Amino acid sequence: MTRLSRRSFLKLSAAGGGGGGLLLLAGLSEAHARGVGDFPLHKKVGEGFTICPYCSCGCGLIIATDEHGHVINSEGDPDHIVNRGALDPKSISVRQLSNSPLRLNKVLYRAPGSEQWEEKTWEWATVEIAKRIKQTRDETFVGSVEVEDREVPVNRIEGIAWLGGAANNSEDCYLACKLARALGVVYLEHQARI
Amino acid sequence: MTNDWVDVKNSDCVLVIGANPAENHPASIAWINTARDEQGAKLIVVDPRFTRTAATSDLYCSLRSGTDIVFLGGLINYTLQNRLYNEEYVKYYTNALTLIHPDFKGPVDLDGLFSGYDHETRSYDTTSWQYQTEEQPVTVVKRATSLDDPNCVFAHLKKHYARYTPEVVERICGTPKDKFLQVAELFCATGVPDKTGTIFYAMGQTQHTVGTQNVRSMAMLQLLLGNIGLPGGGVNALRGESNVQGSTDMALLYHDLPGYLGCPTDKHGNLEAYSAKFATTSYWANGPAFFISLMKAWFGDAATKDNDYAYHYVPKVSGDYSWISLFEALYQGTIKGLVCMGQNPAVSGPNARMERKALGNLDWLVVMDLFETETASFWKAPGIAPADIQTEVFLLPAVDAIEKAGSIVTSGRRMQWRPKVAESPGEAMEDIWTLDRLVKALKDVYAGSTEAKDRPILDLVWDYGDPPDVELVAREINGYALEDVKDASGEVLVNKGEAIPGFSTIAKAADPSTTACGNWLYSGYFAPADDGSGVTMPAVKRRGQKDPGEMGFYPYWGFTWPANRRVLYNRASARPDGTPWAENKKVIWWDEEAGKWTGYDVPDFSATKPPDAEADPAGAGLDAHSGTDPFIMKPDGKGWLFAPSGLNDGPFPEHYEPLESPIQNPLSSVQNNPVITVYDTATDEEIGDRVGSADKFPIICTTYRVCEQWQTGSMSRTLPWLAEVQPDMFVEIGKELAEQKGIENGDEVIVTSARGEIRAVALVTPRWRPMNVNGGKVHQIGMVWHFGWQGLATGDIANDLTPHVGDANTRIPEYKAFLVDVRKA
């Protein structure tokens, strides 16, 4: 039986994980914590490192999941340079964020004047949204404006606004900016302003 | 933040003003306590309310919300009067010696205004704020030889701040004079070389009509004390969301482009005009190269030298499109469609009921979120008849932080990678997947178009695989070589196809269009790097524990923009001659033998420029700076005690009252910031842009957060644990006011402002106390703004009461000081 301290258990997870620790330890059923009597882990558990999605301290968390990728535990990452294992009530609740029954799991659509949502497909929604964007963009496109008696090209739309988001990853934000600006959006704002 | 979270352990004095880290940034308190335990540091909290951070402090000092310029001005005056400033730092590293235009006049002479004010346009002509220059033969800035010169910045500074006495602090801020002097004595003692003090601030400073000048006041104080560029020092904004630093860096703001390049305006008719906006005598001289690289990342082969690198594809702004303007336009009906990605304006915007009403003018709304937010469901808000709302709403299910891969940036500018560690529910999809599908659908609906206006969509480079691979997005943001990247001598810096190692590659490239870089500031974050143990991986993924100098910089953990620098302006951590100010405050220093700067951090300076290097006024970029000019992004290389440009409301901070205030400004006849925009939309309706007066609304109100809820609550009121520990919308009221109003702890109360009323539970505490302000008694109360009608814990929306007015520069709303009344329900 292999004996592992909590720290080396995590290090092993890190070394093998690199980009993704999901279900990393699925085959390792005999990990143990130091100072506690032997108790074999029978459940297949994957552990991975992540960063808390709430405040901007950037605390490290370890998320444990079952074989279906559902979160079964969240705890502080003792190796993380900022929080050294400590977490606040929001961080520790991350597991409920992932498991919440209130989470949206279907595309929903609300028609003009309607009192309810309808379930739709992604295919339908993206095509319909693209049509709305095109129509509003084409109707409100401003090619140029006059500045000090000269026509200056401005290539912008004033009929579409884009908001968000400070909880999205930087890569999401980059693509949102790239798309919005390519469309000509100037009403581009998010949480950082307010 | 100029410094990092862990770096606060190096501090001797932590001044928290306008923040509540024990509540809202809990991990930071451990490092503050390390500084207290290991080197006897003191924690000072200045706040209108006795907060959770105040409860753990060494010294708590109250002030009236909206008077930070007076309080900080008092500290600046105390520093000047008692000669507590670091004179060598001030002379060499700031613009204290710079001579100002002889026509410049300030509020002392002009009753609260600066020279150049136009009452008609409510704006300043800044001609008289400019530096004196001379031609020899190129234009150089004139500097005095002594701080006593009457036209130098330092002399103006002393004159301006002479009015900000401890007595004036007591009168305007309501802070007892002896308490203020205790703060001054403690914090201003950090002006000596072997001590550093840091300032932590958050929205308590920024969410005011004078927010920018509040922040400037802190920066000026820190420059005088020589606390910027040093460990345990700096001006540190505690940012409110996990990636609000990253979303700002990525320019999801009307006025900007990624990496703070700035969105072109209608004054910039072509690339040459746009390029000319970058100061040629600072590191910004490389701005045009970074822009060209960005255009190559966005438009690829369609961006050529002959077409100004597709400059015309980028929209140009005319005026202001910021949040409040956006919602005013929405209210007026000019905006027809809105995409809302992970944001909940129905709860978070100022005068939120008016903003929700404006949403009803939309033809269509797209919401990408984890939950059915108040914004997604605005059409069925309490009191709204859905049949009256003709807006189509598309609600797209998103995945949460642990269910997708990507990076976020801490408040300390440190980027960290999050791998996917859990599965997402049902058909919820990653944002990059949703955006990818949307772009592909847009390219389809525009396919075949021959119109010039549609070229940016058709030419948009969008090739991240299917499903899109976030690592390919990261590679583009980092930047890669489209061709062999060569310097001016023809030497190959990076081979075609490789990731560029950092933005200096773009700066050095003879032809920057051989690179494609989505955000120059992030350059290097996804390039291969050593984690300190010999293992190579994309820099942002590193978890190396090595910490040279044991300063808490941890350079092998993640990647800190720019260029993995932990302490911004760290040239100032050394004396003008290049030696450290003190052994215990070492960051970088000049190694004469090696001919370069060395130390524990990446130098925020030309790595091989010696301390005694002379400036070449005719030189490009940093050649125009001397070896003692640490502020490389500034055109004169100096920290600005006086701001000749960049601000709409004055080169020095001056106190004005919040838009809604219980008193007349005791300092001058100018009541409010004279350049703010005050709207008058729908003032005949209850929800309009109405301004309240003290006769009807005598109590000052502010909004804030608690540790157990988060922002609009969409990611906290939906979780059972958090909903249970903070279940109710509450308003915190002091005991004396509660008694006066017949309100008991737990009572339901009604809070009213000129914008309407809300219900809340009264939390009666001694944490709010009445203050004596300008000879009268003033009460303040506070509300959490986490609540709305969705989720497990629900309540009224605090922002239904806040005014639609913003700061004179950034236009951040004035959430932190407005007038209300309160009564028992």
Does the residue B17 lie in any domain?
A: yes
- Least Cα distance to B84 among B232, B228, B225, B229 occurs for B225
Show the DSSP H helices in A44-169 as ranges: 89-92, 94-99, 122-140
pLDDT digits (tens, 9 = 90+) for B247-266: 999 999 999 999 999 999 99
Q: Across the 825 residues of chain B, what is the mean pLDDT of every consecutive 10-residue run? A: 97 98 97 97 98 98 98 98 98 98 98 98 98 90 96 98 98 98 98 98 98 98 98 97 98 98 97 95 97 98 98 97 97 97 98 97 98 98 96 98 98 98 97 98 98 98 98 98 98 98 98 98 98 97 97 98 98 98 97 98 97 94 97 97 97 98 98 96 90 97 98 97 97 98 98 97 98 97 98 98 97 98 98
Does the residue A126 lie in any domain?
A: yes
Last residue of a domain, one of B179, B213, B237: B237
Number of domains forming the structure of chain B: 3
Q: Classify burial at B771, counting beta carbons within 10 Å of its beta carbon; exposed 0-12, middle 13-18, buried 19 or more.
A: buried
CB B478 within 8 A of CB B525: yes
Last residue of a domain, one of B190, B207, B237: B237
* Cα distance between residue B651 and residue B641, in whole Å: 8
Are A94 and A130 members of one domain?
no
- Least Cα distance to B750 among B712, B713, B717, B783 occurs for B783
Are A11 and A57 members of one domain?
yes
* Cα distance between residue B37 and residue B767, in whole Å: 27
Does the residue A11 lie in any domain?
A: yes
Facing B442 at nearest CB: one of A100, A130, A170: A130
Does the residue B483 lie in any domain?
A: no
Q: What CATH number does residue A40 fall under?
A: 2.20.25.90
Number of domains forming the structure of chain A: 2
Are B360 and B222 members of one domain?
no
Are A140 and A94 members of one domain?
no
pLDDT of residue B687: 86
Does the residue B562 lie in any domain?
A: no
Last residue of a domain, one of A67, A99, A131: A99
pLDDT digits (tens, 9 = 90+) for A116-150: 999 999 999 999 999 999 999 999 999 999 999 99
Facing B318 at nearest CB: one of A154, A159, A175: A154
- Least Cα distance to B312 among B331, B325, B289, B295 occurs for B295
For residue B22, the chain A residues in CB contact (below 8 A) are none
B599-627 burial string, b = 16+ CB within 10 Å, else e?
bbbbbbbbeebbbebebeeeeebbebbbb
Does the residue B257 lie in any domain?
A: no
Are A71 and A141 members of one domain?
no
Query: pTM for the whole thing?
Result: 0.95
For residue B243, the chain A residues in CB contact (below 8 A) are 56, 166-170, 173
Last residue of a domain, one of A99, A130, A164: A99
B721: tokens are: 């644990």
pLDDT of residue A38: 67
Are A73 and A14 members of one domain?
yes
In the three-class reduction of DSSP (H, G, I as helix; E, B as strand; rest coil), residue B16 is classed as strand
For residue A172, the chain B residues in CB contact (below 8 A) are 341, 406, 430-432, 435
Are B11 and B132 members of one domain?
yes
Last residue of a domain, one of B214, B237, B260: B237
B51: tokens are: 């907060």
Residues 6+ apart with CB under 8 A from B6: A81, A82, B31, B412, B552, B553, B554
Does the residue B206 lie in any domain?
A: yes
Give the residue-averaged pLDDT of A59-82.
95
The yes/no answer to whether this complex scores an ipTM above 0.90 is yes
CA B363, chain centre distance (Å): 33
CB B662 within 8 A of CB B817: no
Are A27 and A85 members of one domain?
yes
Does the residue A42 lie in any domain?
A: yes
Q: Which of A93, A116, A173, A179 would you mutate first to test chain B, the one with the most B CBs within 10 A?
A: A173
pLDDT of residue A46: 83
B545/A81 touch (CB, cutoff 8 Å), yes or no: yes
Q: What CATH number does residue B145 fall under?
A: 3.40.228.10
**CB of B569 within 8 Å of any CB in chain A?**
no
Does the residue B265 lie in any domain?
A: no
Residue A21 has pLDDT above 80, yes or no: no
Q: What CATH number does residue B716 fall under?
A: 2.40.40.20
- ∠ CA A193-B3-B6, nearest 5°, is 115
Facing B316 at nearest CB: one of A47, A154, A164: A154
Residues 6+ apart with CB under 8 A from B613: B626, B627
Are B221 and B335 members of one domain?
no
B272: tokens are: 């040459």
Residues 6+ apart with CB under 8 A from B277: B262, B268, B287
Does the residue A116 lie in any domain?
A: no
| Distance (Å) from the alpha carbon of B379 to chain A's nearest alpha carbon | 8
A174/B477 touch (CB, cutoff 8 Å), yes or no: yes
Are A60 and A130 members of one domain?
no
A69/B422 touch (CB, cutoff 8 Å), yes or no: yes
CB B339 within 8 A of CB B366: yes
Interface contacts (A, B; CB < 8 Å): 491
Query: How many CB atoms neighbour CB A28 within 10 A?
Result: 16
pLDDT of residue A16: 37
- Structural domain boundaries, residue B337: 323-405+421-451
B457/A183 touch (CB, cutoff 8 Å), yes or no: yes
- Structural domain boundaries, residue A80: 6-99
- ∠ CA B763-B767-B773, nearest 5°, is 115
**CB of B333 within 8 Å of any CB in chain A?**
no
Report the chain A residue with the minimal C-alpha distance to residue B27. A83
Does the residue B439 lie in any domain?
A: yes
For residue A153, the chain B residues in CB contact (below 8 A) are 269, 312, 316
Are A141 and A89 members of one domain?
no
pLDDT of residue A44: 72
B719/A97 touch (CB, cutoff 8 Å), yes or no: yes
Are A10 and A75 members of one domain?
yes
B178: tokens are: 């002896």
Q: What CATH number does residue B427 fall under?
A: 3.40.50.740
Facing A21 at nearest CB: one of B246, B407, B419: B419
Are A95 and A49 members of one domain?
yes
B5/A82 touch (CB, cutoff 8 Å), yes or no: yes
Are B227 and B82 members of one domain?
yes
Are B24 and B165 members of one domain?
yes
DSSP string, B666-713: SS-S--B-TT-----TTTTSTTSS----TTT--EEEEEE--TTS-TTS
Facing A82 at nearest CB: one of B27, B716, B718: B27
Q: Output DSSP code: residue B281.
A: T
Does the residue A144 lie in any domain?
A: yes
Does the residue A184 lie in any domain?
A: yes
pLDDT of residue A17: 37
Rg (CA), chain B: 27
**CB of B404 within 8 Å of any CB in chain A?**
yes
Hey, what amino acid is at A152?
V
CB B180 within 8 A of CB B169: yes
For residue B407, the chain A residues in CB contact (below 8 A) are 169-171
Are B186 and B53 members of one domain?
yes
Are A10 and A93 members of one domain?
yes
Are A142 and A178 members of one domain?
yes
Does the residue A163 lie in any domain?
A: yes
pLDDT of residue A29: 40
Does the residue A1 lie in any domain?
A: no
